[in-house]
A and B are shown apart, each in its own frame.
Chain A
Amino acid sequence: MNYYIRRFAQAIVTFVVGMFITFALYRLVPGGPVEAIIADRVQQMQQRGQPVDTQEVGDMAEQLTGINPDTPIPIAFYEWLRDIILYQDFGESILFQDPVFDILFRGMPWSIFLSVYGLLLGFTATIAVGVFMAWHEGTKIDSGLTVFVLVMRSIPYYVAAIVMLSVLAFQWGLFPTGGRAPPAATPGFNVEYMVGIARHAALPILSNFIVGFAGGAIGMRALSVRVIGEDYLRSARLRGLGTNRILTRYLTRNSILPIYTGFMLGIAGMFSSNVITEVIFQYHGVGWFMLEAAVSQDYPLVMAAFVFFSSITVTAILIADFTYGLIDPRAGTGASRESF
């Protein structure tokens, strides 16, 4: 129990330290958001031939970003964090002129939708293909699939996304070319809207599926090959158990253990790579908003999106650590080692 409390505290500390580093970087680096906005306004005023009032422009930039350059960074960070935790107040987006929390909250379900389906499909395929390859180890099926998996891994997921978008959506018109839902349909539980969502999400999920699939199959194969050599598998076969039972209960279940942690980390990675997918498909989730904000120096929105991604990563890793002992009883919780 002590381990769980310590691990939980560690997760919170890492999260806060990570946020602080990013927050401080944003402040310290020359050409940060406040200066960028000031420079932008000064240039605009000079073009119009207006007299430049530095004080006034500075005040305006402060109001837009919510940054007061005179506040020391630790205090500013404390205030920023306090507003988030107590009031869910991330500030107001410069680009969209809306509270940041509302923008992200609207985008969140869509991002989670894409990532979760892509990841589940990808990992199922990884496990199935890996075990299948191990079962047919050394045959033509094995080497053929190995080459296939290697080729799949060499193709970046966004390449697959681009090709699918160009061919399936633009050329053949099988899928919509972008967006989250058909604009004509009324949101809600009606057939038209639901089918529309599924059609819009199909290609992004498919390219996320490729992200999840490519990495693990070879590793899964190696793990399964090792399990196949174990004695209990041979005795299971000698006992006359059916192939299906051996494959599912004995082989797959035991070879999944080591990649379980990878699965939890994969959730975090999936949300990250989802940023690129969302941009390519113009799918307005958290990633799309983050990118728009980053390009136009919308500092409050970028930081808030970053908080969103970080909290998903921290939670995923924490859950992986907490549950691994339950899944594999042989793994202890933090062994003690001598130091030299």
Chain B
Amino acid sequence: MSENEPRSDGGVTQESIFGTDEEVERRRTPPAERARRAFDFYIATPFRVAWSDWRTRIGGVGVLFYLLMGTVGVWLVPPPQINEGPYYLQPFVDWSMPLGTDNLGRGVFKTLVHSTPAMMKMALAGIVFSIGIAVLVGMIAGYKGGVVDTVLMTIADVFITLPGLPLIIVLAAIFSPQDPFIVGTIIAIDQWPGLARMLRSQVLSLREEDFVEAARSIGLSTPTIVGQELVPKVAPFVLVSAAGAAVAVIFQSVALYFIGVLPFNSFNWGVMMQLAYQQGNAISAPGRAGHWMLFPLLAISGVSFSLILFSQGLDRVFNPRLLARHSETVPEDEQDGAGDL
């Protein structure tokens, strides 16, 4: 594999001490051609690989559906109003209220759609918080080693030791959070230590690799090595973990709203289930209020199914061997060796 082609492992050389052929080659290539290659390599090829796998295809469409529901859907569907229909209307009877109504005559479908943004905010806060801390702690601990590693891992151990759900329940009882962003952050509090430990162990094996040793021996700084050599290697794992964290946050937040630990002043799927259980007796008398609880349940299962499928398939998007086979700008004869770096 020659140096002047885009490399199929996703590694990009940005800092170089000696001039290479690469720069000469780059000057010769017209900008339009470079842009086309970059587009093919970073956007079109991953998309093609993703689309070729049924898991990513179904999962991606599912995730997109929920994203649209939380953005465009809220704008299209009017917010639910009290007494806009009869109480406890069964689903699929009146098509202006497709999923029936609850105990105050609000449309279940409308409530469902208007609950999505709250769920998305919680998941987003959870992802940003847990993945951010995990990457920071895991990468630094793994690469630096020594005292830094011991200190950071001891902190992570303390948080692993605290039992997840009981801790969240205690925190929820202390803070009584209502803002979805804060709820998401609290729920994600038991996610980061495990991730940080896994990232650390990945970095531990990566730091012994030849290319890291080479980078170190030519005197590149630690931030450069971590940012340019290590981050691209662990990016797939981080992305897959982000999907996992989102699923965990959604699962647990709904559970906590359902059992009534978290206070609420707006709608989300867990709140709907809680109201259906408390006020509609949906569990003991599903004939009357069952639909009020069933549809949020389906929505949760659907979003977690999409996310899990999507993250399973994402593993393949980052597999360099597959990338080369789908790429248009990597010549045929070089594709056999791609990924053997």
- State how many angstroms separate the Cβ of A336 from the closest Cβ of chain B: 10
Cα of A306 to Cα of B170 in the assembled complex, Å:
8
Interface residues in A, total, Cβ within 8 A: 57
Q: Tell me whether A135 is interfacial, beta carbon within 8 Å.
A: no
Q: Tell me whether B255 is interfacial, beta carbon within 8 Å.
A: yes
Asked if B255 and A18 sit within 8 Å, CB to CB, the answer is no
Cα of A10 to Cα of B261 in the assembled complex, Å:
33
Tell me the chain B residues, 270-328 only, with Cβ under 8 Å from chain A: 273, 282-286, 290, 293, 297, 300-302, 304-305, 308-309, 312
B336 contact set on A, CB distance < 8 A? none
- State how many angstroms separate the Cβ of A320 from the closest Cβ of chain B: 11
Asked if A314 and B161 sit within 8 Å, CB to CB, the answer is yes
A309 contact set on B, CB distance < 8 A? 163, 166
Chain B: CB-nearest residue to A268: B163
Cα of A55 to Cα of B281 in the assembled complex, Å:
44
Chain A: CB-nearest residue to B204: A337
- State how many angstroms separate the Cβ of B160 from the closest Cβ of chain A: 7
- Interface residue SS majority, chain A: helix
Q: Tell me whether A154 is interfacial, beta carbon within 8 Å.
A: yes
Query: Which residue, B158, B159, B261, B312, has most C-beta atoms of chain A within 10 A?
Result: B158
Tell me the chain A residues, 136-191 only, with Cβ under 8 Å from chain B: 150-151, 153-156, 158-159, 162-163, 165-167, 170-171, 177
A339-B146 contact, Cβ under 8 Å, with A14-B154, A306-B170 = yes
A317-B160 contact, Cβ under 8 Å, with A166-B284, A290-B166 = yes
Of B161, B261, B286, B312, which contacts A18 at CB under 8 A? B161
Of B144, B147, B173, B302, which contacts A295 at CB under 8 A? B173
Q: Which of A23-31, A46-54, A325-333 contacts B (4 or more CB under 8 A)?
A: A23-31
- State how many angstroms separate the Cβ of B240 from the closest Cβ of chain A: 12
- What 0/1 readout, one digit per residue, does chain A (1-34) give for beta carbons within 8 Å of chain B? 0000000001100110110011001100101100
Cα of A310 to Cα of B167 in the assembled complex, Å:
9
Asked if A306 and B167 sit within 8 Å, CB to CB, the answer is yes
Cα of A310 to Cα of B169 in the assembled complex, Å:
13
Of A29, A272, A302, which contacts B163 at CB under 8 A? A272
A166 contact set on B, CB distance < 8 A? 282-284, 286, 290
Asked if B312 and A276 sit within 8 Å, CB to CB, the answer is no
Q: Tell me whether B260 is interfacial, beta carbon within 8 Å.
A: yes
Asked if A29 and B174 sit within 8 Å, CB to CB, the answer is yes
- State how many angstroms separate the Cβ of B161 from the closest Cβ of chain A: 5
- State how many angstroms separate the Cβ of A93 from the closest Cβ of chain B: 14
Chain A: CB-nearest residue to B287: A171
Cα of A271 to Cα of B162 in the assembled complex, Å:
12
Asked if A159 and B297 sit within 8 Å, CB to CB, the answer is yes
Of B147, B149, B161, B166, which contacts A275 at CB under 8 A? B166
Asked if B286 and A171 sit within 8 Å, CB to CB, the answer is yes
A to B contact number (C-beta, < 8 Å): 138
Asked if A279 and B293 sit within 8 Å, CB to CB, the answer is no
A339-B149 contact, Cβ under 8 Å, with A17-B158, A276-B259, A302-B173 = yes
Q: Tell me whether A280 is interfacial, beta carbon within 8 Å.
A: yes
A158-B258 contact, Cβ under 8 Å, with A25-B171, A272-B165 = yes
- State how many angstroms separate the Cβ of B91 from the closest Cβ of chain A: 16
Q: Tell me whether A305 is interfacial, beta carbon within 8 Å.
A: yes
Interface residues in B, total, Cβ within 8 A: 52
Cα of A291 to Cα of B173 in the assembled complex, Å:
9
Asked if A18 and B251 sit within 8 Å, CB to CB, the answer is no
Asked if A153 and B286 sit within 8 Å, CB to CB, the answer is no
A22-B162 contact, Cβ under 8 Å, with A29-B174, A166-B290, A302-B170 = yes
Chain B: CB-nearest residue to A293: B173
- State how many angstroms separate the Cβ of B123 from the closest Cβ of chain A: 14
Chain A: CB-nearest residue to B312: A150
B258 contact set on A, CB distance < 8 A? 158, 276
Apart from A154-B305, A302-B170, A306-B167, 15 more pairs, CB < 8 Å: A10-B157, A14-B154, A14-B161, A31-B174, A32-B174, A150-B308, A158-B255, A158-B258, A159-B297, A162-B283, A295-B261, A309-B166, A337-B204, A339-B144, A340-B144
Which 8 pairs show the lowest CB-CB distances between chains A and B? Answer: A339-B146, A154-B305, A339-B145, A309-B163, A272-B165, A294-B173, A309-B166, A154-B304
B interface with A by C-beta (< 8 Å): 144-149, 154, 157-167, 169-176, 204, 216, 251, 254-255, 258-261, 273, 282-286, 290, 293, 297, 300-302, 304-305, 308-309, 312
A interface with B by C-beta (< 8 Å): 10-11, 14-15, 17-18, 21-22, 25-26, 29, 31-32, 150-151, 153-156, 158-159, 162-163, 165-167, 170-171, 177, 268-269, 271-273, 275-276, 279-280, 290-291, 294-295, 297, 302-303, 305-306, 309-310, 312-314, 317, 337-340
